[in-house]
Amino acid sequence: MRSVKPLAQLPNLLTLANAGLGLLAISKSIDALALGVAHPQFHGLMESSCWLVMVAMVLDGLDGRLARLLGTHSDLGAQLDSFADAITFGVAPALVGKVMLEAHGLGHPRLNFVAAAIFSLMAVLRLARFNVETDDEDDHKSFQGLPSPAAAGILIATILMSLSLQGRIEIEGGQETVVGAGLSILPETFRIEMSVFLQHAILFLLPVIGMLMISRIRYAHGLHALFRATGVVSLARLVFIVLALFLAPVPLLFVLGYAYVLYGVIQAGLDRRKASAETRKVA
């Protein structure tokens, strides 16, 4: 046990790093708004903000598992995790979304604020409800309500997809990425229209995803579902996912994010329909 003590605070450090990345994402999005959409650094700053939130999602998935592995899970760590999530997956993505709207002159400043506030406040409510109703997050294989990291992920993936369609972020070493080359096949008018559509969709997504977070719709634990299989199957699945993310990270995250959200909604509808049918049979 003594050899573990020097590592006892590592999970909490990962949690604080999660919060730090959220704060940095907020800072970069504010810098982008100050420069304006016409500035050559705007899209790079927005992309950085988005990926900082995505990296924080990885840290959020690791800290709890590491705490359990080291046997250092504590009430302090659980509360710290919730506060960090409120910043990184509640405030940061909402602000990045608001900046995207404001920079492109979409919506109205007050309306944009209300939409962003709904997302952030619903994330806080969801985290508070989770703390009250749950003893140990790692013991649960599913959640009631859309998890805040997933909510942040779908919003951020939408923003990244909009930026990719514009062709501003799919450049690496002076050359187009694989995704950029693939998107260039599409007519430029179509790509621009889709990018603008996704920008407008942010105003709709902020409150809708916020309400999904406090809903009673059941969602599977993403990491548990991913690593449920053991041995070669689990390892092969992980390898394919990593390679796909390396090849086309933005489209993959975009598709997986919406698939995850819609699966929960559709499954809830089917379960409600089945329960209603069984009630009618009994009656």
Domains of the chain: total: 1
Predicted local confidence at residue 71, as pLDDT = 73
Q: Report whether pLDDT(204) > 80.
A: yes
Among 24-38, 112-126, 157-171, 253-267, where is mean pLDDT lowest? 157-171
240 confidence band (pLDDT: 50, 70, 90): confident
Residue 77, pLDDT score: 76
Q: Taking residues 209-231, what's their average pLDDT? A: 77
Task: State residue 151's pLDDT score.
Answer: 95
What would the pLDDT profile of 131-175 be if each residue is shown by its tens digit? 887 765 544 567 888 999 999 999 999 999 999 998 777 777 667
For residue 141, give the nearest of 69, 75, 227, 268 by alpha carbon: 227
Residue 227 reports pLDDT greater than 60:
no
**223 has a pLDDT exceeding 80:** no
- 213 falls in which pLDDT band (50, 70, 90)? very high
pLDDT at 2 over 50: no
At residue 96 the predicted structure's pLDDT band, cuts being 50, 70 and 90, is very high
pLDDT bracket for residue 112 (50, 70, 90): very high
More confident residue, 227 or 206: 206
Mean pLDDT over 190-213 rounds to: 95
Residue 280 has pLDDT above 80, yes or no: no
pLDDT for 4: 47
pLDDT of residue 232: 77
Range of 37's domain? 2-282
Q: How far apart are CA 283 and CA 260, in angstroms?
A: 35
* Percent of the chain residues past pLDDT 90, beyond the cut: 52
For the segment 188-198, the average pLDDT, to the nearest whole number, is 92
State the pairing for strand pair 171-172/142-144.
unpaired
